[in-house]
C-alpha cells in the first residue's frame, strides 16, 4: 500500500487542519479491499462446484430410470391379492414330488420317531400316502408333508439290523392273573381257575393280534393294495 498511495505520514501535516481528519480515502480503500475479498471467495466457490451440478443431475437421472424399471418389473410379477413368497422361503421349502417305491423317512405314530420307509401308495388329493417301514414291515398312513428324504443305504442297513434284534427279544411276561381266582383250596377248583385264566389270556392276545391284522388290511384296502 505504501508503494501506491500514502494515506498518512506522521509529522508531515498540521494536526489542527480539518483536512487531516478527512477519512474519505481510508473508507474508499477499505471498501475496495472488501470487494476484492468477496470476489475471491465467490471465485473459489465457483471453482469447487464446477461441473458438479451436471454430474449430480446425470447420476440422479440414472437412478430414477433404474428405480422405475424395478418398480415396473415388480408390478408385472405381482398381482393384487396374490400370495407373496420370498425367494429365500421358496428355496428353503422346495416341493418334492414323491413316487411309489421311493425310499423316504416317515414318522411312526406309536413313538413319533422317524424311520426309513418305502412308499407303497399315494393319495395326492388328500395329501396322504401309505408307507411300509423297512425291516419292521409295519404299514401306516402318513401325510406327504411329514415325509423327509432318506438317509441312504447305511441308515437302511442299520434299521434292518435293529429290526432283526427287535424280533429276537424274549417275549413279554404274561399278564398277572386277576386277584381272587386262586383262593380255592381244592384241586378241582384250582384246575377250574387255571382254565379260566388260560381262556382270559388267550382271548387277550387273540384280540390284540386280530386288531393289528384288521387295521393293516383296512389300510391296504383303502389304497387298493394287496398284502
The span from the CA of 48 to the CA of 67, in Å, is 30
pTM over 0.85, yes/no:
no
- 176 in a structural domain: no
Instruction: Verify that 148 and 200 share a domain, yes or no.
Output: no
Confidence bin at 115 (pLDDT 50/70/90): very high
The DSSP string of 42-90 is HHHHHHHTTTHHHHHHHHHHHHHHHHHHHHHHHHHH--TTPPP--HHHH
In a domain, 164, yes or no: yes
CB atoms within 10 A of CB 115: 22
Q: Per residue in 164-181, pLDDT tens?
A: 887 665 555 556 655 555
For residue 116, give its domain range: 102-168
Total number of domains constituting the chain: 2
For residue 144, give the CATH number of its domain.
2.30.30.140
Nearest CA among 120, 156, 155 for reference residue 140? 120
Average pLDDT over residues 149-174: 80
> Locate cell 388260560: which residue?
198
pLDDT in tens, 36-52: 888 877 776 665 555 55
User: Which cell numbers in the block locate residue 100?
Assistant: 411309489
The answer to whether position 38 is within a domain reads no
Q: What is the pLDDT of residue 82?
A: 45
176-219 per-position pLDDT tens digit: 655 555 555 567 788 888 888 888 888 888 887 787 777 777 76
Are residues 151 and 196 located together in one domain of the fold? no
User: Which one, of 144, 143, 138, lies nearest residue 216 by Cα?
Assistant: 138
Cβ atoms of 187 and 140 within 8 Å: the answer is: no
Amino acid at each position: 500500500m505504501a508503494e501506491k498511495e500514502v494515506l498518512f505520514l506522521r509529522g508531515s501535516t498540521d494536526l489542527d487542519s480539518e483536512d487531516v481528519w478527512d477519512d474519505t480515502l481510508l473508507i474508499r480503500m477499505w471498501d475496495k479491499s472488501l470487494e476484492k475479498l468477496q470476489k475471491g471467495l465467490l471465485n473459489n466457490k465457483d471453482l469447487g462446484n464446477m461441473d458438479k451440478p451436471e454430474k449430480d443431475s446425470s447420476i440422479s437421472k440414472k437412478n430414477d430410470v433404474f428405480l422405475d424399471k424395478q418398480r415396473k418389473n415388480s408390478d408385472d410379477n405381482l398381482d393384487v391379492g396374490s400370495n407373496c413368497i420370498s425367494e429365500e422361503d421358496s428355496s428353503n421349502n422346495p416341493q418334492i414330488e414323491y413316487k411309489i417305491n421311493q425310499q423316504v423317512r416317515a414318522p411312526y405314530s406309536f413313538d413319533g420317531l422317524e424311520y426309513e420307509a418305502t412308499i407303497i401308495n399315494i393319495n395326492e388329493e388328500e395329501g396322504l400316502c401309505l408307507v411300509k417301514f423297512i425291516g419292521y414291515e409295519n404299514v401306516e398312513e402318513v401325510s406327504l408333508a411329514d415325509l423327509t428324504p432318506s438317509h441312504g443305504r447305511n441308515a437302511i442297513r442299520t434299521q434292518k439290523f435293529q429290526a432283526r434284534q427287535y424280533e429276537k427279544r424274549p417275549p413279554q411276561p404274561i399278564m398277572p392273573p386277576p386277584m381272587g381266582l386262586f383262593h380255592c383250596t381244592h384241586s378241582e377248583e384250582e384246575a377250574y381257575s387255571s382254565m379260566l385264566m388260560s381262556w382270559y389270556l388267550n382271548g387277550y392276545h387273540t384280540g390284540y393280534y386280530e386288531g393289528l391284522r384288521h387295521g393293516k388290511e383296512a389300510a391296504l384296502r383303502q389304497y387298493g393294495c394287496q398284502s
